């Protein structure tokens, strides 16, 4: 190089990443789970995903980024349960669907309850915000005290969440009164009698 000239080498196959923070990131949880290299964060005042310079609020707490350890999404919601009923003996695999139900499994590991009893979350079936628009927590229901409805309670970082319109209903455990027919044919062609 001489006389102020510089050489520039350009790859024959350049790669460019184009990314718009609000695209497909309509909730706080989805926004904070975005790839960190794009620097997206949640603008609290405008309730949207954006870059820091595009969030007009003045206070530092008005914009959240996943790298800030204290970033917690506000306004979590429990939207729906599946199934809505199960036996009083417990053991039903319950799916709780909602928004902003923690950013990772650790946020809900010990915080899901049916009534006042722990509903053990299933880590391998935890659906993060990155995988779906709504969050899903799956847990195995505990035994119920009696038939009837019980509220779903989720504690996320010392904040308690419940939705009075969404309840799990315990049904009376089934009782077998009669088996009909009382006998059948075994594999050798002989009747099986009681």
* CA geometry: angle 120, 123, 126, nearest 5 deg: 105
Cβ neighbours of 137 (radius 10 Å): 25
pLDDT at site 84 = 94
Enter the pTM of the model: 0.65
Query: Can you give the residue ranges of every domain in the chain?
Result: 18-74, 77-171
pLDDT digits (tens, 9 = 90+) for 35-78: 888 888 888 878 888 888 888 766 666 888 777 655 667 677 88
> What is the CATH superfamily name and number for domain 77-171?
Immunoglobulins (2.60.40.10)
Q: Which CATH number fits domain 18-74: 3.90.76.10, 1.10.3720.10, 3.30.1680.10, 3.40.50.460?
A: 3.30.1680.10
Q: Which of 39, 100, 96, 98 is nearest to 73 (CA)?
A: 100
User: Mean pLDDT: which of 82-96, 133-147, 167-181 is highest?
Assistant: 82-96
**End-to-end CA, the chain:** 100
Tens-digit pLDDT profile for residues 79-135 = 899 999 999 999 999 999 888 787 778 878 888 989 889 998 888 887 765 555 457
């Amino acid at each position: 190089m001489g006389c102020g000239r510089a050489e520039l080498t350009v790859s024959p196959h350049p790669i460019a990443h184009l990314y718009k923070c609000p695209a497909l990131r309509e909730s706080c949880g989805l926004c904070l789970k975005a790839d960190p290299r794009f620097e997206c964060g949640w603008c609290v005042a405008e309730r949207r995903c954006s870059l820091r310079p595009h969030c007009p609020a003045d206070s530092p707490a008005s914009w959240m980024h996943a790298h800030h350890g204290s970033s917690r999404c506000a306004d979590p919601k429990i939207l729906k349960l599946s199934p809505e009923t199960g036996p009083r003996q417990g053991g039903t695999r319950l799916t709780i669907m909602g928004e902003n139900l923690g950013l990772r499994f650790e946020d809900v590991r010990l915080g899901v309850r049916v009534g006042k009893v722990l509903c053990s979350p299933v880590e391998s079936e935890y659906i993060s915000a990155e995988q779906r628009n709504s969050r899903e927590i799956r847990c195995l229901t505990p035994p119920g005290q009696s038939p009837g409805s019980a509220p779903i309670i989720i504690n996320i970082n010392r904040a308690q969440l419940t939705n009075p319109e969404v309840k799990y209903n315990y049904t009376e455990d089934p009782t077998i009164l009669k088996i009909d027919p009382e006998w059948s044919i075994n594999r050798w062609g002989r009747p099986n009698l009681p």
